[in-house]
Structure 1
Amino acid sequence: MSSNHANAGYRRLFDGEGLTFGAGFPLTGANRSRPDPEAEIELATLAEELGFDGLWARDVPTYWPKFGDAGQTFDTWPWLSHVAAHTDEVALGTSSVVLPLRHPLHVAKSAATVDRLSNGRLVMGVASGDRDPEYPAFGVDREARGELFREGCEALRTVWREDYPTLEGRWGRLEGELDVVPKPTEGTIPLLPTGNSRQADEWIAEHGDGWLFYHLPESTLESYIAQWREATADKPFAIAVRVELAEDPTADPEPLHLGYRAGVEWYRDYFRRLESYGLDHAIIGLQNEDRERGLERFADEIIDGL
């Protein structure tokens, strides 16, 4: 895969041959209360040792019980800095930063900081958001989130690429007197719009360095990837999927919310099919109660078995 914005993390995820895998925080499964940071880091280092290529942190500013979870609870940027300090080469991803709820200058500085501290390992999923009460909580017009998303992407690219830029948007104005530092390791950071992000597919193909999507029915995913390949032959397509490994390796799939419970044999066939459609990366949200054993089984019996 090629990109004008490829850093070490992007290359780790997408430069090799075939499908790569990442693991999504919280690795311990505690997504309503504060997870144990030591346990999370132990599992993160284990995932890297086992051959996972990415570790992904969600951006959930507030906890809305109706929605069901608070992501990994810890704020995205300090958490990824902490993970960076305890890992070596695994890519660090956001899945995904809700641009309309964050000021782009803050995002630019925080992201570039994590990218620098991790030696270029940051890859950013970016999104328009999907939790309705958060928009009034942040004083943001929900109906403007598509425009705010586009402006946010433009602002990030501009302040990373240019010194003392001139730029204006609904978020504010830069008049050439201020700079945002540090700059990223490769001049900018890869951006992967998530879902539709209130944008046309053509906009995503032109402005994104890849496309990050939620779990989809297999036939729908196949058609989405095919359309993506027609729009942009060399930009990656990634998904997030919840995975629960049944004890019986031959177990047939049972649907979970945004994923499946199934045996490793079915999962090997499933990911082989997705790879044949052109999927480049899968972020695994492991649902097994014994997370250490679950990561080891997934790596040994699925990643190594493809």
Structure 2
Amino acid sequence: MTIATSPAENAGANFFGRGYASMFAPEQLTVGVYFPIESFDGPEPAMLDQVELAQQAERLGFAALWARDVPLNDPSFGDLGQIYDPFVWLAMIAAHTSNIALATGAVILPLHHPIDVAKAAASLDRLSDGRFVFGVASGDRPVEYPAYGRDANLRSELFRDAFDYVEALLTKRFPVHASAHYGRLGGGGDLVPKPLSRRLPTLVAGQSQQSLDWIAQCSDGWLTYPRGVTQQALVASRWREALDRLGAGFKPIAQSLYVDLPADADTPPSPIRLGYRVGRRRLAELLDDLRSNGINHVALNLKFSRRPVADVLDEIGTEVIPHFSISAP
């Protein structure tokens, strides 16, 4: 499906909801943070003080709080995300926050039934008053597909099938839809609730076994992986070229970034896994470079922080975030 809307309409809170509108705008960059908001060794976080830290991030002007879908502990990956189901977790966070966007990065579509995913997504969007941004992916942990009785060799097909089914449920009344893997609707049943806005913004994480043109055509944005600034500029350029080929207008590109923020504000960036140890002034320069190269949102992950994360949040929120925010819708 091609989403034929103008850049101005895409940016509006009435079309995509206020979560999307507070995160994304052409030629702008905003900053979010991933749960768990803590530093920890090994795969499992303690999940202490997460509500208070989420509220702190909101007060400081962070644009979004991100949660991941990690159904099972796969020791080969060494990372369990925030442990809890992302919809349940973000619904709880929604009850304790007011304005910050709530995003999944990302729900593993092929592992869940589309009706259940669509109902959870629309429910969270309603309960958060339009703050939900729906990141989806195909999954990459070997233990998951066999556990769910799915064929990992069909990931590409399963993802597209689930994506289209969820799309039909969220956007149509009493849809008629036939799925090769997940069942069919003949127009006799309808999903309730529907999202609050005209469209629930859906971002595809990584390639999800799809072509970039498919992602540009079917999604509302792209969530990609962290890379060096020069390499990421090339990736962002490829994204814009795909959008131009389709005449799709503005669709944002976002990325994650692991950050260890030392006390010295001028510490130059040195690589850590999927990010940098970097002082806050140099972090601001890095983010500005990413903005100049077309990145619209950076979701920070503080797992490797050597300082208390509350202090890191405060420093980034006070000194960096004011340079990377857009007007509230």
TM bucket (normalised to shorter chain) is over 0.9
Distance 1:214 1:17 in 2: 19
1:302 to 320, 324, 328: 320
The separation in 2 between residues aligned to 1:140 and 1:270, in whole angstroms, is: 40
Query: Matched residue of 1:79: which SS?
Result: helix
Give the match for residue 219 of structure 2. Answer: 208
What does residue 120 of structure 2 align with?
A: 110
**CA deviation map 1:7-49 (0-9, x unaligned):** 1111111147621011100012457346346x00000000000
**Does residue 171 of structure 2 align to residue 153 of structure 1?**
no
> 1:305 and 1:167 mapped to 2: Cα distance?
45
SS in structure 2 at match of 1:167: strand
SS at match of 2:104: strand
Structure 1 segments unaligned to the other structure (5+ residues): none
Task: Could you tell me which runs of 5 or more consecutive residues in structure 2 were left unpaired when the two chains were aligned.
Answer: 1-6, 244-248, 325-329
Equivalent residue for 1:98, pick from 108, 128, 135: 108
Identity, % of aligned pairs? 41
| Amino acid across the alignment from 2:235 | Y
C-alpha deviation, 1:176, in angstroms: 1.6
Kept in 1: contact 2:25–2:296 (CA 8 A):
no
Distance in 2 between residues matched to 1:67 and 1:272, nearest whole Å: 31
Aligned residue number for residue 196 of structure 2: 185
**1:195 corresponding residue in structure 2:** 206
Q: Is the 8 A contact 2:26 2:252 kept in 1?
A: no
TM-score with structure 2 setting the length = 0.89
SS at 1:228 equivalent: helix
Could you say what the CA RMSD is over the residues aligned between the two structures, in angstroms?
A: 1.7
Q: In structure 1, what is the equivalent of residue 185 of structure 2?
A: 174
Matches within 5 A, 1:261-276: 261-276=277-292
Q: Which amino acid aligns with 1:221?
A: Q
The answer for the alignment partner of 1:219 in structure 2 is 230
Q: CA deviation digits over 1:147-189, x for unaligned, max 9?
A: 1111111111111122221111111111222211111101431
Q: Supply the distance in 1 between the matched residues of 2:206 and 2:27 (Cα, whole angstroms).
A: 24
Work out the number of aligned pairs and report it: 305
CA separation in 1, counterparts of 2:101 and 2:75?
A: 30
Deviating more after overlay: 170-179 vs 200-209: 170-179
Name the counterpart of 1:134.
Answer: 144
Cα shift at 1:258: 0.4
Per the TM alignment, residue 266 of structure 1 is displaced from its structure 2 partner at its CA by: 1.6
More deviation, 116-125/229-238: 229-238
Cα deviation per residue 1:42-76 (whole Å; 9 max; x = unaligned)? 00000000000100000111111110111100111
Aligned AA for 1:46?
A: Q
Q: Structure 2 CA distance, aligned partners of 1:107 and 1:158?
A: 12
Most deviating of 264-273 and 27-36: 27-36
Partner residue in 2 for 1:79:
89
The amino acid of 2:74's aligned partner reads W
* Change beyond 3 A, Cα 1:180–1:94: same
How far apart, in 2, do the equivalents of 1:209 and 1:114 lie? Answer: 18
Check the 8 A contact 1:160/1:187 in 2, yes or no: no
Deviates more, 1:181-190 or 1:239-248: 181-190
Residue of structure 1 equivalent to 2:16: 6
TM-score in terms of structure 1 length: 0.95
- C-alpha displacement of 1:305: 4.7
| Match of residue 301, structure 2, among 280, 285, 293 | 285
Relative contact order (C-alpha < 8 Å, sep 6+): which is higher?
Answer: 2
Shift of 1:276: 0.6
8 Å contact 1:211–1:238 — kept in the other structure? Answer: yes
Measure how far apart 1:3 and its partner are.
2.7
8 Å CA contact 1:123, 1:189 repeated in 2 = yes
